Structure 1
Amino acid sequence: MANTKHHIDNTLILLQEYLKGNIHPTTDRELRMLFQQYPDLRIMVEKLENADHLRQELEYYSVHVKDIEKRESRVLSNIMTKIEKPSLKKTISYKKLPLWYTAAACFIGLAIFGIWTIKSKDHNNNIDVTKLAENLHPGGNKATLHFSDGSSLGLDQSHNGIVIGSNITYNDGSVAIGSSTDKRQMMTLSTPRGGQYEIQLSDGTKVWLNASTSLKYPDKFTEQQRLVELDGEAYFEVAKSQGRPFIVITEKEKIEVLGTHFNVYSYPNEKESKVSLKEGKVKVSVPTGEEKVLAPGEQAVVNGENLRVQQVSIDESISWTNDEFMFNNEPLGTVLTQVARWYDIDINIDPSLSKITLWGSVSRLDTFDKVLKIIKMTDDKIKIQIEGRRVKLMK
């Protein structure tokens, strides 16, 4: 556990020194790397007035919040043992502390927790599983372009996107397919499991496709509207075109915009579909006729015939576009569906584990063993078996 202790102590020292004003990310490499790994951490830490508050808020959260899960309690308990705590007799009253204080303390605790190196009690089994997981590599730039006559073109994996124009070019300007073809009226760009790709449509709209996603679109839009069809997950940066709405049709909803940035998560085999708005304004409607207009920071959730709107962290909703998984109190079953799609693996999970909530973040560029570390942090009693590309999680 010496390595764990070093990481905890070092992280706390960095945060405390930053709060005191003794170091800054522009001059301290370790602090800069910490904030790069956890982008929201700097914002949260700055809300604490000084180093003493950092200690006090962690103590408040671990001692006074009664309904936190045992997992979070263990995390904060370990952190608190590394901080010199004041005498309980001198502890001030925290009953009226602002909500963001406890949120900041929680985030700091969990971020530190995510840095720990976890060692399994069954050391030999852990080494075996880790080595197998290291062989499960992340996805990459993989996509196929399908044409209206039934033919298709496998796109170059050394490029990450295409541009639709008189020619279809890669985003470095090299030609993927020339203008002489007469089969381009309607096209579909599709990514497999373990694939992602970008496309710039004829109007200048940019779309990023996540794994196992298809986008159907015309080579040229009409003068009245711009309509595309989506199965899967994609992030849109819609080019403005006065009087010509941009419409995204999925199996579950219709999204109508003029110019905006938003994410659509709508896989046909999943119950819920989500539209998350980063900027601008979109209208989401469902077959029943119900519709909602979203403001930035809002998410429309479609489940069957039900349509509701909730506040979300957009950074989390679009973290995949920045090559990152971000888990914020998400059910393990939901998380693993996304993970399996990206790593192109089959994951079987014991039903009793599916609702365990997961916190943390991991790069989508890392091999699968890094994801397993986050899972083991949540509950180190979870047993993991790996056979080829099949992963099993058990109690």
Structure 2
Amino acid sequence: MSDLIPKLDISYLIVKALNGELEGTEEQKLKEWLDESEENKVLYLRVQMRKNRDQRLEVIRKLNKREAWKRIDHGTREHKYFIFKWIYRGVAVAIPMILLFSLYYNKLDRIDRELVKQEQREIHPGEMKAELILANGQCLVLDARKENSIESELEGVRILKENRGIRYECEDLEREIPFHELRVPRGGEYSITLEDGTEVYFNSETKFRYPVKFGERERKVFLEGEAYFKVKREENRPFSVEMGGNCIEVLGTEFNVRYYPEENKQITTLVSGKVKFISEGNKSLVLSPGEQAVLTHEGILSCTSVDVTLYTAWKDGNFVFRKQRLEEVLKTLARWYDVDVFYEDVSRKDVEFTGNIERFERFEEIIDLLRMTGDTDFEVKGKNIFVRCK
């Protein structure tokens, strides 16, 4: 019996693989099972190709029956002589078999529940959430659904919870000024009011490192992701944002910054005031309101006039797209709704999309809107989106 239970666990590993939840040695165990025979590989592919829970469960049930009877038949043949010779040993054989099938059907029930969980995963819009990493390594979970305040005293540093985020208040610090880091996950957004009064709004999948109190000569922060800044004006203390070795210098202004390393470009869009963009290679340009600086991974720095709403609407609860490639649209939506996108037809990446979408719209309604782009179709499986031609 102990030899059969790991065999039945293969079904559970298959379900976890479909959910993308394999951990530790589980992936290696599944690979070893696949390598045992071509039959195993074919069966695994059949499970992957089934479109709904019932069809997948039926294939897995057949797998379990096959493995169960294979092992039971082997065990029965080994003990056949002894069963006929010693009747009372039939009890010893029957009891383990009863226990075996009890475990077997419990395993099926567990697999059934996992398949239901996979098929019924709902796609929700993002929400106010983040993690705050303190200088001592302590992690505070910031969740708008929790009513308790995270107000705390940290040797002269106060962190107060507000409606859309947190606010810092600091006394004069005689010791070395500590840095904190805010991490906003996929499907999240958050905001901070720094100790100088500067307000920063963060989009999904963003990291922000900053001192709890700025020095006398400069105000410098570090960003990876996307954020909207409303910088408190101070003539004698310029504010700067560093992104992957490049820097934005400001005195007092509002601007949007987007820097996701996988996108191979940095975008700074100025709403009001004036900023200076300085690249790692010492190339620089000064932006006026309504202008945008783009630095490519090849080091090309350019400036153009844009409609700033296209790049700042996310802060106010909207997505605005104007003749934007579908690949870029889906990257933006994937971060907010925490989904993964797969292209069965790569030509769909270049389809152009124009539209205004509320940031908290149901994902199914957004997919219906995207289908109106023409001959592009979308299939939603759990939290995976498959893009193809109609």
> TM-score band, normalised by the shorter chain?
0.5 to 0.7
CA offsets per residue over residues 231-273 of structure 1, 9 Å max, x none?
0000000001121110000016210000000000101121121
User: What is the aligned counterpart of 1:278 among 258, 263, 271?
Assistant: 271
CA offsets per residue over residues 15-54 of structure 1, 9 Å max, x none?
xxxxxxxxxxxxxxxxxxxxxxxxxxxxxxxxxxxxxxxx
Q: 1:257 to 1:170 in 2, by over 3 A?
A: same
The answer for the alignment partner of 1:229 in structure 2 is 222
The answer for the alignment partner of 1:352 in structure 2 is 347
The answer for the alignment partner of 1:326 in structure 2 is 320
Matched, 1:213 2:206: yes
2: distance between equivalents of 1:212 and 1:175? 18
The answer for the alignment partner of 1:171 in structure 2 is 162
2: distance between equivalents of 1:175 and 1:338? 25
Q: Structure 2, unaligned stretches of length 5 or more?
A: 1-118
- Partner of 2:367, secondary structure, is helix
Q: 1:290 to 1:153 in 2, by over 3 A?
A: same
2: distance between equivalents of 1:251 and 1:281? 21
CA offsets per residue over residues 49-96 of structure 1, 9 Å max, x none?
xxxxxxxxxxxxxxxxxxxxxxxxxxxxxxxxxxxxxxxxxxxxxxxx
- Partner of 1:338, secondary structure, is helix
Q: 1:141 to 1:215 in 2, by over 3 A?
A: same
Moved more, 349-358 or 186-195: 349-358
Instruction: Tell me the amino acid that sits aligned with residue 380 of structure 2.
Output: I
Matched, 1:367 2:356: no
User: What is the aligned counterpart of 2:241 among 248, 269, 273?
Assistant: 248
Question: How far apart are 1:384 and its partner, in Å?
Answer: 1.7
RMSD (Å) for aligned C-alpha atoms: 3.0
Contact 1:191 1:211 in 2 (8 A): yes
Larger radius of gyration: 2
The answer for the alignment partner of 1:51 in structure 2 is none
User: What is the aligned counterpart of 1:341 among 316, 325, 335?
Assistant: 335
Contact 1:214 1:230 in 2 (8 A): yes
- Partner of 1:155, secondary structure, is strand
Instruction: Tell me the amino acid that sits aligned with residue 149 of structure 1.
Output: N
2: distance between equivalents of 1:239 and 1:172? 20
1: distance between equivalents of 2:165 and 2:377? 48
The answer for the alignment partner of 2:289 in structure 1 is 296
- Partner of 1:337, secondary structure, is helix
User: What is the aligned counterpart of 1:382 among 370, 373, 376?
Assistant: 376
Contact 1:159 1:170 in 2 (8 A): no
User: What is the aligned counterpart of 2:387 among 368, 384, 393?
Assistant: 393
2: distance between equivalents of 1:329 and 1:284? 27
Instruction: Tell me the amino acid that sits aligned with residue 350 of structure 2.
Output: K
Contact 1:208 1:236 in 2 (8 A): yes
Contact 1:327 1:360 in 2 (8 A): yes
2: distance between equivalents of 1:373 and 1:316? 21
Contact 2:167 2:193 in 1 (8 A): no
The answer for the alignment partner of 2:259 in structure 1 is 266
Question: How far apart are 1:167 and its partner, in Å?
Answer: 1.1
Question: How far apart are 1:163 and its partner, in Å?
Answer: 9.3
- Partner of 1:142, secondary structure, is strand
- Partner of 2:263, secondary structure, is coil
2: distance between equivalents of 1:366 and 1:169? 30
Instruction: Tell me the amino acid that sits aligned with residue 362 of structure 2.
Output: T
2: distance between equivalents of 1:318 and 1:133? 33
Q: 1:162 to 1:295 in 2, by over 3 A?
A: farther
Q: 1:213 to 1:187 in 2, by over 3 A?
A: same
Q: Structure 1, unaligned stretches of length 5 or more?
A: 1-131
Moved more, 348-357 or 170-179: 170-179
Instruction: Tell me the amino acid that sits aligned with residue 167 of structure 1.
Output: R
2: distance between equivalents of 1:249 and 1:191? 18
Moved more, 246-255 or 193-202: 246-255
Contact 2:128 2:164 in 1 (8 A): no
Q: 1:306 to 1:156 in 2, by over 3 A?
A: same
- Partner of 2:204, secondary structure, is coil
Contact 2:170 2:213 in 1 (8 A): no
Instruction: Tell me the amino acid that sits aligned with residue 148 of structure 1.
Output: A
Contact 2:325 2:349 in 1 (8 A): yes
The answer to which structure, 1 or 2, has the higher relative contact order (CA under 8 A, 6+ apart) is 1
Q: 1:172 to 1:389 in 2, by over 3 A?
A: closer
The answer for the alignment partner of 2:59 in structure 1 is none
Q: 1:176 to 1:253 in 2, by over 3 A?
A: closer
Instruction: Tell me the amino acid that sits aligned with residue 353 of structure 1.
Output: R
Q: 1:184 to 1:133 in 2, by over 3 A?
A: farther
Q: 1:328 to 1:204 in 2, by over 3 A?
A: same
User: What is the aligned counterpart of 1:310 among 301, 304, 315?
Assistant: 304
Structure 1 stretches of at least 4 aligned residues deviating more than 6 Å after TM superposition: 159-165, 173-184
Q: How does 1:108-257 map to 2 (within 5 A)?
A: 135-158=122-145, 166-171=157-162, 185-251=178-244, 253-257=246-250
Q: 1:355 to 1:186 in 2, by over 3 A?
A: same
2: distance between equivalents of 1:280 and 1:271? 27
2: distance between equivalents of 1:238 and 1:385? 43
CA offsets per residue over residues 343-374 of structure 1, 9 Å max, x none?
00001123101111110011011121222122
Q: How many residues are treated as equivalent by the alignment?
A: 263
Question: How far apart are 1:385 and its partner, in Å?
Answer: 1.6
2: distance between equivalents of 1:194 and 1:188? 18
Contact 1:216 1:230 in 2 (8 A): yes
Moved more, 324-333 or 381-390: 381-390
